[in-house]
Amino acid sequence: MASTEEPKFEGWVGLDKDAAKGNMVWQTYDVKPWEETDIDIKIHFGILFAKAMGADRVVAVSRRSDKRADALALGADEYIATAEDEDWATKHARTLDLIVCSISSSNMPLTEYIGLLKRDGVFVQLGLPDDGQFKVGAAPFAFGRRSLTGSLMGSPHEIREMLQLAADKGIKPWVELWPMSEANKAIVEMDAGKAKYRYVLVNNE
């Protein structure tokens, strides 16, 4: 029987100004709410790694165009805004070999996304919907000989390969730097959902 309990997230949390000195508490916390302008960490790295691995064409897909500039700056060759680009599903049909999807909503246009894949294309789902189940018919898979798979984390060997590739290719994440003296402010900003990329505290001594 599936569990009905809400998922819990645990980690080191700064509760007061002493957090800047490393005095943090391990406890449960609420995750940052998703916003339209966020660049998901998996897709952020997905673009960087795809380019580093020699992909000849990388297409970023999101609902709105807010993230277009960042996605292109990260290395994407094209950008599709599904809520704004007219006839995007038809225009880009059967043009992609692989789709890596991190959407965590059952309301995404999955059938249209599958239609973007070429024959023998693969759709990899990373996000886990918390508002229901994905709904898609069998026809897009059968007629296009496409595959649907999923992943949460690679094996230790794959992780080592990933880190080695990052080192060899000089892949660096986009981060937002905060001085350690402003750790409390950074925490407040994160709680307010203002973090666009990973916050990194820097020792300012």
129 has pLDDT over 90? no
Phi and psi torsions of 99, nearest 5° = -125, 125
The pTM is what?
0.72
Please report which helix (H) or strand (E) contains residue 160, including its range. helix 156-169
Dihedral angle over CA of 182, 183, 185, 191, nearest 10: 160
Q: How far apart are CA 107 and CA 118, in angstroms?
A: 23
Average pLDDT (196-204) is 85
pLDDT for position 137: 83
Round the CA-based radius of gyration of the chain to a whole number and report it.
19
Superfamily of domain covering 43-156:
NAD(P)-binding Rossmann-like Domain (3.40.50.720)
pLDDT for position 20: 59
Model confidence pLDDT, tens digit, residues 82-121: 999 999 999 999 999 999 988 878 888 889 999 999 999 9
> Per-domain residue ranges for the chain?
43-156, 174-204
Phi and psi torsions of 96, nearest 5° = -120, 145
